Amino acid sequence: VSALQLKRDIGVSYNTAWKMKHKLMQVMLEREKGKKLSGRIEIDDAYIGGERPGKPGRGAAHKAPFIAVVETEGEEHRPQRMQLRTVSGFRSAEIERYAKMSLEVGSIVVSDGLACFKAVEKAGCHPIPFVSEGGRKGVEHPSFKWVNTMPGNVKNAITGTFHSVSLKHVPRYLAEFEYRFNRRYRLDDMIERLAYVGLRTPPMPYRFLRMAEIGG
């Protein structure tokens, strides 16, 4: 739910609801940071942000770039876990940094032809690029089924829930969906586990809560 809806549901001020929501999202962000994906992995570039005048596409100041990464399993490549991590740009150094932090050595990384994804080699992974066609045919390529599906679902959910999303807090919003997706088969104890890790996460004072998050 949005902070505004949370305010209405529990009868507190908007500022209190905003702080509660962002503290919980920060817990999710901290919890997901140390996890690593392995095996067969799909990776793709994406953006989140509203439509504004100015430069479109890559490099647009009003959009936050992030990478969507999905660990798959079996011949049908069923999705197991995902990561949604902001980056400063789609550059080799950024992808190498991400891969060393978040991918297990020996993982097979399937991507489109974007050159920066080859940098996963420096983290001991094996890149497999598929240069697909543009438009619908490229999106429907079977090698990218889930990594193309997930970002669209996330962006639709965010725009459908929140009136606006501050770009500096995008890592938290992405972490919320990442956390929930990765625990979709453990719904019965998700709230209990969130409370458990929340009590063991370092405090986040309001002055720090308002700062921009560092990309994952």
In this structure, is residue 214 part of a structural domain?
Answer: no
What value does the CA radius of gyration of the chain take, rounded to a whole number of Å?
18
What pLDDT, in 10s, does the model give residues 161-198?
776 678 888 999 999 999 999 998 888 888 888 888 88
Tally of structural domains, the chain: 1
In this structure, is residue 216 part of a structural domain?
Answer: no
The rounded distance, in Å, linking the Cα atoms of 174 and 84 is 6
Please give the distance of CA 12 from its chain centroid, rounded to a whole number: 29
Q: How does residue 2 score in pLDDT terms, banded at 50, 70 and 90?
A: confident
The rounded distance, in Å, linking the Cα atoms of 194 and 90 is 32
In this structure, is residue 215 part of a structural domain?
Answer: no
| Domain containing residue 115 | 3-51+59-209
pLDDT of residue 140: 61
B/e letters for 13-27, b = 16+ CB within 10 Å, e = fewer, are eeeebbbebbbbbbb
What pLDDT, in 10s, does the model give residues 50-106?
554 455 555 555 788 999 999 999 888 899 999 999 999 999 999 999 999 999 999
Q: What percent of the chain has pLDDT over 70?
A: 85
